[in-house]
Structure 1
Amino acid sequence: MLIAELMSAELTGELAMTRGLLARIPDDKMEWKPQGELHSIAWNASHLVEILGWVPGIVGEGAWDIAPIGEEPYVAPVVTQTSHLLELFDKHSQAAVDALEDAPDSVMHEPWSLKMAGQTLFTMKKGACIRKWVFSHSAHHRGILSVYLQMAGLQFPSVYEE
């Protein structure tokens, strides 16, 4: 079995949990945030969608410069309506699944770099990058979002319950 096939199977479960959580966000709670310098529900939800959108670039490219010299730096999107969030999530989900589909193991062993202004911040194998910066990072932000929603007064079952 290809590494990408294993990842695709895991991704399917991750997508279902994440989409279920995103769908629970009422539009009127998007701007809620805990006290202090922490991000809003909308920022965390948007980041979950954004993370998923990284998969095609990791699989298909060798690097991403988030602030290329002489060009506009990358700006993370913030979506404030649940319906739009879910549309983007579905679009990024399909693109992620498509990017992993039939990707040979050799691609997962290729290096991928995150850069800023031409300077390499880190380099790792594409497969490891997807595991760490997509799968694990998504689980991390799903946890934050779950806590924020509970703190904002919403009650719902665990994302791990069926």
Structure 2
Amino acid sequence: MEIIQSLINEMELEAQTTRKMLSIIPQDKFEWQPHPKSMSVIRLATHIAELPGWVGMVLNTPELDFTTSPYAPKVVTNIQELLAYFEENVTDGKAQLEKAALPQLDEEWVLRNGDEIYSKSTKAEFIRVTYSQIVHHRAQLGVFLRLLNIPIPGSYGPSADEELEMAAAAS
């Protein structure tokens, strides 16, 4: 399979799981955080929702420099806005991949903060890093929700909550 189609398929697969996780966040827990150094639930969820949009940024720019492009997270006030923001970014990311050319994926892409380089890789490699960030932060969100005693959906199979539910239904 061509790499571009593989990246599109992977984005959609991860979007299905991410959609389930984002949709169960209770609005009354938006500002909760497990530790002062941790993001709040809504800040983490918003970051997860924005990450598919990084695909277009990576494909269409040579770098992201936080000194010239300061990070300002989008403010969302409810789950509907969060999910709409996520869908907008998934749609854009897939559209950017669909019109990408293979040679573009081999171009260098840099993530930096002024002179400090965080990452230097090909655009294809950084798109995969972006996907890894989605999975990583989605797992963090799962821990946050678990600490709040909110049943979580499975990612690549049933979660412990879903297994208990299935066992109860079978008895």
Contact conserved, 1:2 with 1:104, CA < 8 A, in 2?
Answer: no
Contact conserved, 2:108 with 2:121, CA < 8 A, in 1?
Answer: yes
Distance of 1:5 and 1:73 partners within structure 2: 32
Structure 1: where are the runs of 5+ without partners? none
Structure 2: where are the runs of 5+ without partners? 159-171
Amino acid at match of 2:72: V
Q: Is 1:107 equivalent to 2:83 in the alignment?
A: no
Q: Which one has the bigger helix percentage?
A: 2
Using the aligned pairs only, state the percent identity. Answer: 30
Distance of 1:79 and 1:16 partners within structure 2: 21
TM-score for the superposition, normalised by structure 2: 0.84
Distance of 1:103 and 1:48 partners within structure 2: 23
Q: Is 1:117 equivalent to 2:114 in the alignment?
A: yes
Contact conserved, 1:3 with 1:108, CA < 8 A, in 2?
Answer: no
Distance of 1:84 and 1:152 partners within structure 2: 22
- Select the structure of larger CA radius of gyration: 2
1:144/1:119 Cα in 2 relative to 1: closer, same or farther (>3 Å)? Answer: closer
Higher relative contact order (CA 8 A, sep 6+): 1
Distance of 1:160 and 1:28 partners within structure 2: 28
Give, in angstroms, the shift of residue 145 of structure 1.
0.2
Match of residue 137 from structure 1: 133
1:130/1:30 Cα in 2 relative to 1: closer, same or farther (>3 Å)? Answer: same
Match of residue 82 from structure 1: 79
Distance of 1:40 and 1:121 partners within structure 2: 24
Give, in angstroms, the shift of residue 119 of structure 1.
5.5
Amino acid at match of 1:152: L
Contact conserved, 1:32 with 1:40, CA < 8 A, in 2?
Answer: yes
Match of residue 64 from structure 2: 64
Give, in angstroms, the shift of residue 120 of structure 1.
4.1
Q: Which runs of 4+ in 1 moved over 6 A?
A: none
TM-score for the superposition, normalised by structure 1: 0.88
1:17-56 CA-partner distances (Å, limit 9, x unpaired)? 0011101111111111113321111111011012112110
User: Which aligned pairs between 1:2-13 and structure 2 lie closer than 5 A?
Assistant: 2-13=2-13
Give, in angstroms, the shift of residue 112 of structure 1.
0.7
Distance of 2:145 and 2:152 partners within structure 1: 9
Distance of 1:78 and 1:148 partners within structure 2: 20
- Structure 1, 110-119 or 50-59: larger mean CA deviation: 110-119
Give, in angstroms, the shift of residue 2 of structure 1.
2.5
